[in-house]
Structure 1
């Protein structure tokens, strides 16, 4: 009955039921999270999304929204026979508004497509991720994705000027005017950013844009430890006005990437820690920082695009290189800057003797801990997240909570906050049909 109703909304060919086809929607790309979908439905526009949700609401069938399926906490993977609502076909790219410096795009548009689209108008989108070719804007909004340029432009929340979304019962919210000033009550757009598909399904997003950067400088800097990396970063924050990215990785991870991709390391000598800095502008400010810091053991600077991409490959290749080792336990966490060094030491102690590949966004104290060979992944997850909370950090800096961390949310959110979240969920989705078990436990 539901299948035929959905077919009437989106067309028979966009309702997928073949188990071989469903398999690609029933697991995340790491292979860690798997489930069972009742079916997959692929609407073409917001009207069809509303029709799909209305039909599922009437049938009391839960729905899991899915974008590029690049999430790492199980938030877009079906668990127990839900309908998977794929937003991949909502990939429209609206005209760029150069006066407002904004653009409206569909939730299914990939980050790479948005970058290409706005570049033609001499503008730039301020968020970038290594998964740019598959990550979709709707999913990035739903998880408040951060990525590589947070030091300069902030996370996804800072880029959203408005959005359109559909509630579980098919009602539509549209706030796409992109007004820079609007003091008319609750910020419903802001509520949906980071809500992980539990309150409504985002169908379109009005994005803020920034002027295109005409010249970039990238530097890979070798240092002795994470404390030295922080000192170099502190100097760069003061001396380099165009500082955009500050990434940290370690020699074991670098060797893994170089072996996996068949590329050369940045230096002939191995060093313990590497700091990658990216800035808008010429190389002079970065050179001044490097020349004036006793912490710098070696450095490589690139200003032309091929050389810059070569340096970035050492950092961006970490995820695929780690996945080639097997299904990893991936923990995206963040701690205050003052706790970074102590937390890193504690993390290594907690993970041993399993293999740890560590990298992250140093400016935000955001570590991506990739563990291979954990004897008890759930027990280790709890130990690491408790340590994060003890340092005043967050159990999810940018990937979201999903199902993987829902049980640990009380570590970093008070009972009052959790109660307000649950009440918000009930107000938006009284039947609990949208992404059940994600963010908040059932």
Structure 2
């Protein structure tokens, strides 16, 4: 049930637990907790509670559960599918104060961090010990580890290290009744029952509130070589990506930007890409394609990457290679600023999908027609992680307005028809509740519901997210 008007006695109990400064009810203050990064999903909350640690989280959750107040757990609020905002008047349980990085266990190459630690801070902390966090993404300065685990975030290094679930070797969380579950030993071999960390990863805050995470770390790969590769077609780019994955053992990232998205980000940056040609005024998502291929190793990987690029010369229009950090960053700008450029242009519908490699080019070439059959004035903008088949389909209406709602269903059905996933790394949230059945059978959905009822029988945790 939604929070509605909060009993003053409940507010008093919460204040005793977390302190008056961390129980927020002023609408001007709580407003920032009630809208997501895309500006597409907005709600309201009567109450934001900001605990400092697991004990305070458990105590606060116990009070809210006793009052039967529904709760939205929230990290950095960088989600893109409406899964981290109180759309139905729920209370918000903010994890941002759980920001402690514990000492790196260098023998195990692991670290335990609070759920509110940002990815950037975790990266800096691990790097000081000569190690790295396996997942990286553009929102690193604001995305929190707890939220990233809850959504099983992916990012640019999935092809090398896997998504967030693969980094979790231990977890601590608070269940809906305030009970704490904690399994943080980080043993690589531990077959003592259900893997709660794996279950909570990707659960989108519907099963428990993650408070601490033990992460697997990886050796630093300080030497980098980056190439921006231009292609005439998506099919050539997909073929090149497959060849690079086979031949470059140090391949660290393989990102794609397609025609209309490259035109938009280039205009946003005020500079054209150094290779390839932009289609003037193109409203097609496909056509030309660009890949950013980055190799990373302990020793200079430029020869390995250069040899591989030479081997795909027949697919290429041209290539630009950068080795020093400023030059590499200039190439990366065309990928890392795409989301910002789209946001500046309007309020998009964001459809994060995965395609089988064999159907990837077909999807990129065909999705514009699918979009325009649902909304003739809409513009699809495509980019993503080509190394793992993940395409981000952003759709803008005229003048940056939202496109017709029918666009979402049309694109996701097209993805399912091609054997793909309707959610690669952003989650289901509230945005894709109506389409979850496209990828999951009735038996699977029944199993999901049974797990939810077992851990949250009152349906208090993120009640309008993930499960239809």
Same fold (TM over 0.5): yes
Q: Within 5 Å, give how 1:329-344 maps onto structure 2.
A: 329-344=349-364
Contact 1:255 1:265 in 2 (8 A): no
**1:262 Cα deviation from its structure 2 partner:** 3.1
Counterpart check, 1:68 vs 2:84: no
- TM-superposed CA distance for 1:299, in Å, is 0.4
Output the CA distance in 2 between the equivalents of 1:196 and 1:265.
37
Following the alignment from structure 1 to structure 2, what is the Cα–Cα distance between the partners of residues 232 and 285?
A: 15
Local SS of the residue matching 1:245: strand
Q: In the alignment, which residue of structure 1 is the partner of 2:345?
A: 325
DSSP-derived class of the 2:350 partner: strand
Alignment-derived partner of residue 269 in structure 2: 261
Which of 291, 297, 301 is the matching residue for 1:275?
291
Aligned mates of 2:424, 2:352 — CA distance in 1: 6
C-alpha contact 2:351 2:408 (8 A) present in aligned 1: yes
Indicate the larger mover: 369-378 or 275-284: 369-378
Q: Within 2, Cα distance between the matches of 1:279 and 1:178?
A: 29
Comparing 267-276 with 227-236, greater Cα deviation is found at 267-276
Give the Cα–Cα distance (whole angstroms) in 1 for the partners of residues 232 and 262 of structure 2. Answer: 15
Partner of 1:307: 327
**Per-residue displacement from partner, 1:74-132 (whole Å, max 9, x unpaired)?**
00000122110010000110101110000000000000001111101111111000110
What secondary structure is seen at the aligned counterpart in 2 of 1:194?
coil
Question: Which runs of 5 or more residues in structure 1 are unaligned?
Answer: none
| Counterpart in the other structure of 1:380 | 407
Matched, 1:176 2:184: yes
Mapped to 2, the partners of 1:173 and 1:235 lie a distance apart of 44
Distance 1:350 1:344 in 2: 11
Q: How many residues align structurally?
A: 441
TM-score normalised by L of structure 1: 0.98
Distance in 2 (alpha carbons) for counterparts of 1:390 and 1:239: 31
Partner of residue 46 from structure 2, selected from 38, 50, 55: 38
> Structure 2 CA distance, aligned partners of 1:28 and 1:234?
35
Q: Is the Cα–Cα contact under 8 Å of residues 396 and 403 in structure 2 kept in the other structure?
A: no
Q: CA deviation at 1:362?
A: 0.8
Q: Give, in angstroms, the shift of residue 303 of structure 1.
A: 1.2
**Deviation (angstroms), 1:266:** 2.3
CA contact (8 A) 2:352 2:424 kept: yes
Matched, 1:364 2:384: no
CA distance in 2, matches of 1:280, 1:135: 24
Residue 233 (1) aligns with residue 241 (2): yes
Per the TM alignment, residue 265 of structure 1 is displaced from its structure 2 partner at its CA by: 2.1
Structure 2 match to 1:128: 136
SS in 2 for 1:162: strand
Q: Quick one: which of 423, 435, 444 aligns to 1:417?
A: 444
Query: Contact 1:232 / 1:289 at 8 angstroms: preserved in 2?
Result: no
- Secondary structure in 2 aligned to 1:266? coil
The aligned counterpart of 2:466 is 439
CA offset at residue 264 of structure 1?
4.5
Q: Deviations over 1:33-64 (max 9, x none)?
A: 01111210111111110011000000000000
1:399 is the counterpart of 2:418: no
When structure 1 is superposed on structure 2, of 345-354 and 158-167 the one drifting more is: 345-354
CA distance in 1, matches of 2:233, 2:393: 17
1:175-254 → structure 2 map (5 Å cutoff): 175-254=183-262
- Structure 1 residue 105 and structure 2 residue 121: aligned? no
Instruction: Work out the CA distance in 1 between the residues paired with 2:153 and 2:168.
Output: 12
2:155 to 141, 144, 147: 147
More moved, 340-349 vs 76-85: 340-349
| Cα shift at 1:269 | 4.2
When structure 1 is superposed on structure 2, of 41-50 and 235-244 the one drifting more is: 235-244
**3-state SS of 1:186 partner:** coil
TM-score (norm 2): 0.92
**For residues 323 and 269 of structure 1, what CA distance do their matches in structure 2 show?**
24
- Report the Cα distance in structure 2 between the residues aligned to 1:288 and 1:64, rounded to whole angstroms: 50
Q: Deviating runs (4+, > 4 A) in structure 1?
A: none
SS, match of residue 36 in structure 2: coil
**Alpha-carbon distance in 2 for matches of 1:23, 1:340:** 40
Query: Which residue of the partner structure matches residue 316 of structure 1?
Result: 336
Q: Deviations over 1:196-248 (max 9, x none)?
A: 00000000000000000120111110011111112211221222101111111
Mapped to 2, the partners of 1:246 and 1:267 lie a distance apart of 17
Q: 3-state DSSP class of the match of 2:47? A: strand
